[in-house]
Amino acid sequence: MWPPDERAEMTKALVAVGERPDDMTLYVNILLLRKDKEVILVDAGFGPHKNQNWGWLADAMDTIGIEFKDVTHALLSHSHIDHIGGLASGGKILFPNAAVHVLKEEVDFWRGKEPDFSKSHRTDDIKQMIKNVRGSFDTLQPNLVIHKDGDQILDGAITIIAAPGHTDGHAIFRIKSESESLLHVSDLAHNHVLMLENPNWFIDFDHNPDAAIATRKKVFAEIAATKERAFGFHLPWPGLGVVAPNGRKGYQWIPASHRWDF
């Protein structure tokens, strides 16, 4: 539990931007990219599991004329169920033609003899989670492509960057097109206020909070200086924006404007 003064600061930060501290939404944004004939999925949501409505992903893809079989690459930032669940279910690969790109540290952690959760504040069924992730990796094994930090795919269009802390092999992705770039920050932030207002605040799901904090500070400082656009898996739809200094010791999320052209 956070001490009372920290909880008060969190509440203050949320209320200041009109958010309810007792009812916060955890957004899920799945990024789909096209490069020439390649179709790239970045994480895949929960998947068709009990009590999870996954039909929206298929519906969204259908509206732009893309079927699951058309996806040629899937980037896996890490293996929590809301990211890996949509890649494999019931012993079946759901995107059968997609190479699944993941950092070696992530696979090694979950397949290790005793994955280390000693620094995590998680209180859920860790043994069952480990079993589920291992099962997903077993299913995905024919499609797995193992990477190291800094590896590039698709002629340099995407760089896979190690961002440890949330999990051992947590990755973020820099996506480039000509002179433009976008940094997919994966799970560096689960809320558009809290983890920016004070990067020292963390979520119980972080496997190693100290490492997650260090990574978050490093990345936020970098993109706040360069003004590179970012995409957040758990930030308010459509997940696009920039990170900027807030004039105190932290940052603020400035969402990108969006419009529909008909």
CATH number, residue 55: 3.60.15.10
For the residues 128-138, what does the mean pLDDT come to? 96
38 occurs within a structural domain: yes
With contact defined as beta carbons under 8 Å apart, do 241 and 252 qualify?
A: no
SS (H, E, C) 12-47: HHHHHCCCCCCCCCCCCCCEEEEECCEEEEECCCCC
Strands 240-245 and 229-231: antiparallel
Number of domains within the chain? 1
What is the b/e burial string over 38-50, where b = at least 16 CB atoms within 10 angstroms of the residue's CB?
Answer: bbbbbbbbbbbee
Q: CA angle, corner 31, sides to 111 and 254, nearest 5?
A: 110
81 lies in a domain? yes
Residue 28 has pLDDT above 50, yes or no: yes
Domain range enclosing 182 = 4-255
In a domain, 261, yes or no: no
In a domain, 260, yes or no: no
pTM: 0.92
* pLDDT attached to residue 136: 96
Kindly state the tokens that stand for 213: 């904090």
On whether residue 142 sits in a domain, the answer given is: yes
Mean pLDDT of 226-249: 93
Q: Is residue 262 part of a domain?
A: no
- Looking at residue 54, its pLDDT comes to 63
What's the rounded Cα separation, in Å, for the pair 57 and 78? 19
pLDDT digits (tens, 9 = 90+) for 61-98: 988 999 999 999 999 999 999 999 999 988 999 999 99
